[in-house]
Structure 1
Amino acid sequence: LVKRLISKGDRVNVLTRDKAGARETLGQFSQLGFYSKGEWKDGIEGTKAVINLAGEPISTRWSEGVKQEIFDSRVNTTRYLSDLIRAAENKPEVFVSGSAIGFYGTSLGATFTEDSPCGSDFLAGVCREWEAAAHAASESGEGEGPRVVCLRTGLVLSKEGGVLEKMIPLFQLFIGSPLGAGDQWMSWIHRDDLVSLIVESVENKGISGPINGTAPNPVVMNEFCKALAECLGRPMFMPAVPDLPLQVLLGEGAILVLEGQKVVPEKAKDVGFKFKYETLGPALTHATRF
C-alpha cells in the first residue's frame, strides 16, 4: 500500500509505536514521515486521508489475554485515532479503517453483503465495536468530520503473510489437506486488489460506511485446497484434518478455520470497482509466484 501511494506521488506519514521497526520494514523513501504514538496528532494534521489497518494477529489460540489484545489493538487504537481526528484543526477528508468479514459471524448457507446484520460471536462483537470507533471520527468534533469507510477484509492472498504463508509449506511437503469438513466458505481477496480497493476508498467520494474487501467468487475449503495443490504442482492425497484436534489446539480460535462465511463485494461492484483477480486460480498463481 505504501509503495502504491508513493508511486502516485503521495507523501505518506507512518503512525507507529516503533519508528525503528517501521523504517526497517518500509525503507527510507523520501516521501515517508515516521511518527511515534505521542506524535500521531502531528502526523494527522492537514492530511488528505487516514488509513488505519492496525490489529494483533488472530490466527492463534485465544486465551483471555489474547482476546483482550485482539480487542484493544483494533478498537482502542481506532478510538484514539478518531479522537485525534475530531480534535484536528485541519481534518482529513476521509478515514479508511480496517474491519473484517468476521462482522457477519459464520454460516454454511447464508450469503452476506454490506447490508447483512452483525453476527453474535466474539469476532463479530470486536468488528462491531471497531467500526463504531471509526465512525466516531465524524461525530461531534469542531467543523465537518471526514467521510468514514470501514473495510471488511476477507482472507488476503499473499506469500508474505496470512493464510498462504501457513498453507504453502504444508502443500510443498505433500502434507497439505482441507481442515474440518471442507465445506466451510473462504471469502478471499488478492493483496493487489485489496490495495487498489483501499486507494479507491480514499479517492472515490461515493464510498462510505462498510465495504466488503473480498473477491466476487468465494469458494469452499475443499475447492481452495485443490486449487492451491494444483497451483503448486502437488497432489492432494492427505485426509482432511478433523475438527477435534484443531479445537484442542486452537480452542475458541478454531472458528477461524472450521467455520466461514460467504461474503460478496456488493458495494465495490456497485461503484464500478474492477477486480484484477475475480477467480481463485489466477489469484493463487500470482500470489504463490510473486
Structure 2
Amino acid sequence: MNVLITGGTGLLGRALAKSLLADGNKVWVLTRTPERASLPLGCVAVGWDGRTAQGWSPLVNDMDAVVNLAGVNTASWPWTEKRKQSFWNSRVWAGQAVAEAIRLAKKRPAVLVQMSGIGHYGFRGDTAVESTPPADDFSARLTVAWELSSQPVEELGVRRAVVRTAPVLSRDNIILKLMELPMRLFVGGRLGAGRQTFPWIHIADEIRAIRFLLTEERARGPFNLIAPEATSNAAFTRALAKQLKRPYWFHIPAFPMRLVLGEMGNLVLEGRPAHPQRLLELGFQFNHPTLESALRDLYQN
C-alpha cells in the first residue's frame, strides 16, 4: 500500500510511518523542511507549504491512502491569541489542501484518515460517544473546523474516517514528560480536585487503530481513539508515581495552575470522559485497555 502522511514528522507520524514500513508498505511524508526531516529509514520526504496543494498534488495519483495529521501541537504554552490562531490555521489550511489535492487527482486514494481530538466534546460530566454533539469552547470549535476542512472528499467518493484522539501515552510525549517531572522531584500528586477524567490511549493502540481504520471498509465518520477504561486524574497520577517508584502525596491546587497555564489549564483540570464505542463495535481490540497495562508496558518493557 502506498500511503501519504501529512504531519509525519511528529510523534504519531513517525510511529505510524515506522509501523507501515515494517509491513512492507511505502510511505511518503509531506513536510515544510524535507531537507531536515527526521524520518524512519525508507520514508520519502516531500516539501509542501502546509496550506496549499501546489507542487505536490500529483503525488496523490499514486496513493492508496492519505493520513492527515498536520497541526501545531496544542501542548505548546502559553495559549496566546497568536498561538491559538496558529493551532487553527495549521489544521484548517492543511485539511483544505489535502481535500484540494484529492479533488485534482486523476486517480484518487481509497481512504483518507483525518486527525481530530477528544476535545470535540468539551469538558463534561457524562461520557461522550461519537454521536455526542460538539461543545462550544475553543478546543471543541477547533476540532469541528479541523474535521470539516477535509470533508469535501466524501463527495468525491473517498472513504473518510475521522480520528478523535485522546492524549497519547508515549515516553516521548511532552505531556507525559511534564507529568513525570514533579514525580521525579518527589512532589507528585493529584492536580486540582483529582476527580476529573484523564483521557488517554497507549501509542501502540493509537497506531494500530489508525491502521485498522485505513483498511476496514466499514470505517466511515468519527471514531474516538481512547482507552475503554475511564481513569481519573488522581488514579492516573497515583499509578504513574507507582511506576516511577516515587511517593504520591502532594496536591497541586487548581488556582495556581489556572493562574500559570490560563485557558490551557482546562486540559488537565476539567474532565473529558469519552468511550470508543464505534471502534469497539467494528471489532477493534485494544492491546492496552487498562492504565496498569499501558504504564507497565511504557516503563517496564
Q: TM-score, normalised by structure 1?
A: 0.93
Between 1:114-123 and 1:157-166, the stretch displaced more is: 157-166
Distance of 1:191 and 1:13 partners within structure 2: 21
Partner amino acid, structure 2, of 1:201: L
Give the residue type in structure 2 aligned to 1:194. Answer: E
- 1:86 and 1:145 in contact (8 A); partners too: no
CA distance in 2, matches of 1:21, 1:287: 29
User: Which residue of 34, 38, 51 maps to 1:19?
Assistant: 34
Structure 2: runs of 5 or more not aligned: 1-15, 49-53
**Per-residue deviation at 1:46?**
2.2
Which of these residues, 268, 280, 288, is aligned with residue 291 of structure 2? 280
Q: SS of the counterpart of 2:289?
A: coil
Cα offset for 1:7? 1.3
CA distance in 1: counterparts of 2:160 and 2:260, whole angstroms = 38
Distance 1:105 1:56 in 2: 19
Query: Does residue 255 of structure 1 match 2:266?
Result: yes
Q: Distance in 1 between matches of 2:299 and 2:285?
A: 22
Aligned length: 280
Contact 2:114 2:160 in 1 (8 A): yes
Counterparts of 1:67-216 in structure 2, within 5 Å, are 67-107=84-124, 109-139=125-155, 144-216=156-228
CA contact (8 A) 1:13 1:43 kept: no
Backbone CA RMSD of aligned residues: 1.3
CA contact (8 A) 2:122 2:137 kept: yes
Aligned-pair distance for 1:43?
Answer: 2.9
Long gaps (5+) in structure 1: none
Tell whether 2:242 aligns with 1:226.
no
Displacement of 1:289 in angstroms is 4.0
Moved more, 168-177 or 248-257: 168-177
Question: Runs (4+) of structure 1 moved beyond 3 Å?
Answer: none
Quote the offset at 1:172 in angstroms: 1.8
After TM superposition, the score normalised by the length of structure 2 is: 0.90
What residue identity is the alignment partner of 1:18?
T
User: Equivalents in 2 of 1:51, 1:182: separation in Å?
Assistant: 35
The alpha-carbon deviation at position 171 of structure 1 amounts to 1.0
Corresponding residue to 1:3 among 14, 18, 40: 18
SS of the equivalent of 1:45 reads helix
SS in 2 for 1:185: coil
Q: Which amino acid aligns with 1:125?
A: R
Q: Distance in 1 between matches of 2:56 and 2:126?
A: 41
Q: Shift of the alpha carbon at 1:75?
A: 1.4
The Cα of 1:61 is off from its aligned counterpart by: 1.7
